[in-house]
Structure 1
Amino acid sequence: MLLVATALVAAVLMSFTPSVAPHAGAAVVAQTWSDEFDGAAGRAPDAAKWTLETGGSGFGNHELQYYTNSTSNAALDGQGNLVITARKNTDAGLGCWYGQCQYTSARLNTAKTFTQAYGRFEARIKIPRGQGIWPAFWMLGNDLGSVGWPNSGEIDIMENIGREPNTVHGTVHGPGYSGAGGLGAAYSLPGGRAFADDFHVFAVDWSPNSLVWSVDGTTYKTLTPADTGGNKWVFDHPFFVILNLAVGGDWPGSPDASTSFPQTMTVDYVRASSASAPAARPMRGIGGMCVDVAGGSDADRTPIQLHDCTGSAAQQWTIGGDGTVRALGKCLDVAGGSTADGAVVQLYTCNGTNAQKWTYTAARDLTNTGAGKCLDAKGNSSADGTRLQTWTCTGAANQKWTVG
């Protein structure tokens, strides 16, 4: 959902999932915000949660609708849903960027009431249909007013354009990858079914080093900082949530004779959850020795070794929901992203690459995603100072790790 930052500021004034064993200190998900849209039919959305934007500026996309704060465009249906309705305009007094407005609709945001960095954001929505119809569930950075778009970042969890009834899009926009250069992917329902025929759950799981999109629990795209082509990863601060139903615009094009009105976007719920930080714990290997950052240094390229267990911070590790294994604020890393046997394992600034993604299994293997090889104590040794490396998984004792 592309936009011109100045217009929005005025309006709002405002995959990888590791197979982590239960004892590995995996993050616990807790709901932090939701709207279930319970209430009497015809009631306006909860003003303690949502701000209704108004105006017909085109919102940077030459959209044709005027957004109102009227319950004729956004209201509860009395059955636990919010209904956003796009209608043909009958008010001659509503002016849009192109003249008298042809359509009205609604756009809601949480800029004043709820922002959050990281976690899961999901909504269960039945979208509308028709040429020129453009429903969206998305997020913008809370620093929009100070840094502008796209530097503030944009996460489009779900967008659909009416000429593609079978397909939705998940996209991010940031500096150097905005507009038509946004990064993301499309997801199509199997069997050619239309999204407008039923409710579907659209979600993004957001961690410091990844964004993972899904529809009805099926993951279809994962992005990491490595995918920005060297441009800044701006998804490191709180964002707010937006629901809207646009009509026309540069991407979907205008409605035509085949498009019927009114069209409705029906939202069963919107929910946000936050993954609490996993507990930091020791990792023990062969001979009961602890995985240790040599010398307790947090410098990039510090070797990882076995050491007598001391309980120091250099031996406290977290296995995160994004697949990283961290100590001293940095990540367990395979040097140079090597896939060779004997590759050095080191501490390095977290960068979202597969050299820093690990899977901890019920068999107590710690496997590097990039190489498909196991964390290994060199030479099958349990001596103090034994360096760690990656090696073809053998099931041997020097490749088994106990967390906690």
Structure 2
Amino acid sequence: MDSPRSLRRLLLPLVPLLALTALATGPALASPPAAAPAPRTAPAPAAAPAAVTFSDDFDGPAGSTVDGAKWQIETGDNVNNHERQYYTAGNRNAALDGRGNLVITARRENPGNYQCWYGRCEYTSARLNTAGRFTTTYGRVEARMKVPRGQGMWPAFWMLGNDIGQVGWPASGEIDVMENVGFEPSTVHGTLHGPGYSGAGGIGAGYTLPGGQAFADAFHTFAVDWSPGAVTWSVDGTVYQRRTPADLGGRQWVFDKPFFLILNLAVGGYWPGDPDGSTVFPQQLLVDYVRVTSGGAQPAGGPITGIGGKCVDVAGADTANGTPVQLHDCNGTAAQRWTVGSDGTVRALGKCLDVASGGTADGTPVQLWECNGTAAQQWALPAARDIVNPRADKCLDATGGAPANGTRLQIWTCTGAAHQKWTATR
């Protein structure tokens, strides 16, 4: 879509991105090629039906804040697009209404004497994201919402690549499920942004309601259906565009990895322009629900639990090669959803469970690494509940037998001990 935007919205500087994704400890060690593994392999899991992987219906008492286990609230201003609002914490600008909706409210006010890039802020609003709480790779991502109206309003439901803290924007990728600017009351936009096609050069299209209807008049359902190499947008079940790598003119497709969700209501900026005398405040974005469902053709995956009932976890949900794999309290996030493949791999976040440097010695740590077909990424799950690397003939092991959060996983000679016993969801 060739929109008039000159800059996209980056994550606010005040959001502690690095705190959301714990960095891997120690150097990342590649796994060298190795001999073919022994023929001890795991059975193929059946393809799972579509399953809900994230859902928030925003049920709760009027005035309640959002569920902190699902959402974090960002604070600060955004100079990148010359937006005018200050995003506040708490429930002042983002609260449940007691009728099953989240209400994000934009107000013309400044009760906290907030300072923005242009001086004393003129407006407040709210922005929420699921970074560090939930990410998804593929599936159906949807929300039922009623947008605000008026010049300068800019509501959005969108996603950013979970690796933004490492690679920055736009290399992280951005999927805009829905954006509306107040001067187009009948039209919403869906857009991809990535390296070489960001800002006004994003790839996308708009959808316009028939008969002059305005999106602010009623609730509508906005969705993307996302699969390897394709993103498809719809409004109320009507598909209006599909994008694949072929649409990028040879530029890099960066949409086959985990993304997190964002909801916000911006005021002003390069694209929508500033509010004017016709704009009435307060304005509200109402969100009935947000839901993510897995694709029916993809194995849904699930937790692998071990000693102390703890889950096998990718540290910080970081997708970088060499990220430690550890024990942690089970929390249902993508960092703890593992798929046991018919090819002998165990995968999470689009990468493989890997023995560092292809090592075979007791105490060699395991890590997340790009899947490469080597023996360091081959695992067998016999009935005894061991998880065995056949090349090393050693078991997945919790270091020191400790059940504490953050205990690093390694390979070790199989002993039958409790800290080498695992229950994998097939």
Shorter-chain TM band:
0.5 to 0.7
**Which whole-Å CA distance do the structure 1 matches of 2:212 and 2:47 have between them?**
37
> Aligned pair 1:47/2:53, yes or no?
no
Q: Which amino acid aligns with 1:247?
A: V
Q: CA deviation at 1:72?
A: 1.9
What does the per-residue CA deviation read over 1:261-293, in whole Å, with 9 as the maximum and x for residues that have no partner?
A: 0000000000001114369xxxxxxxxxxxxxx
Residue 113 (structure 2) aligned to one of 78, 90, 93: 93
The residue that corresponds to 1:292 in the other structure is none
Structure 1 segment 145-156 matched on structure 2, within 5 A: 145-156=165-176
> Aligned pair 1:167/2:187, yes or no?
yes
Determine which structure has the larger strand proportion and give its number: 1
The residue that corresponds to 2:83 in the other structure is 63
The residue that corresponds to 1:259 in the other structure is 279
Identical-residue share of aligned pairs (%): 65
The residue that corresponds to 1:186 in the other structure is 206
Q: CA deviation at 1:29?
A: 1.3
Q: Which amino acid aligns with 2:68?
A: A
What does the per-residue CA deviation read over 1:299-324, in whole Å, with 9 as the maximum and x for residues that have no partner?
A: xxxxxxxxxxxxxx9xxxxxxxxxxx
Residue 221 (structure 1) aligned to one of 236, 241, 256: 241
The residue that corresponds to 2:30 in the other structure is none
- In structure 2, the gaps of 5 or more residues are 1-6, 21-45, 300-341, 343-426
**Which whole-Å CA distance do the structure 1 matches of 2:116 and 2:283 have between them?**
20
Structure 1 segment 375-386 matched on structure 2, within 5 A: none
Does the aligned pair in 2 maintain the 1:134–1:247 contact within 8 Å?
yes
Q: 1:11 to 1:256 in 2, by over 3 A?
A: farther
Q: 1:41 to 1:9 in 2, by over 3 A?
A: closer
The residue that corresponds to 2:153 in the other structure is 133
Q: Which amino acid aligns with 1:241?
A: L
Q: 1:67 to 1:88 in 2, by over 3 A?
A: same
Q: 1:265 to 1:87 in 2, by over 3 A?
A: same
Q: 1:159 to 1:35 in 2, by over 3 A?
A: same
Q: 1:168 to 1:8 in 2, by over 3 A?
A: farther
Does the aligned pair in 1 maintain the 2:104–2:286 contact within 8 Å?
yes
Does the aligned pair in 1 maintain the 2:59–2:98 contact within 8 Å?
yes
The residue that corresponds to 1:342 in the other structure is none
> Aligned pair 1:81/2:101, yes or no?
yes
Q: Which amino acid aligns with 2:78?
A: S
Q: TM-score, normalization: structure 2?
A: 0.61
> Aligned pair 1:3/2:9, yes or no?
yes
Q: Which amino acid aligns with 1:179?
A: G
Does the aligned pair in 1 maintain the 2:152–2:268 contact within 8 Å?
yes
What does the per-residue CA deviation read over 1:249-268, in whole Å, with 9 as the maximum and x for residues that have no partner?
A: 00000000000000000000
- Displaced runs of 4 or more, over 6 A: none
Q: Which amino acid aligns with 1:3?
A: R
Q: Which amino acid aligns with 2:121?
A: C
Which SS does the other structure have where 1:44 is aligned?
Answer: coil
Over the aligned positions, Cα root-mean-square deviation in angstroms equals 2.0
**Which whole-Å CA distance do the structure 2 matches of 1:27 and 1:101 have between them?**
49
Does the aligned pair in 2 maintain the 1:185–1:221 contact within 8 Å?
yes
Q: Which has the larger radius of gyration?
A: 1
Q: CA deviation at 1:2?
A: 1.5
Q: CA deviation at 1:93?
A: 1.9
Q: Which amino acid aligns with 1:74?
A: A
**Which whole-Å CA distance do the structure 2 matches of 1:123 and 1:8 have between them?**
26
Q: TM-score, normalization: structure 1?
A: 0.64
The residue that corresponds to 1:31 in the other structure is 52
Q: 1:27 to 1:8 in 2, by over 3 A?
A: farther
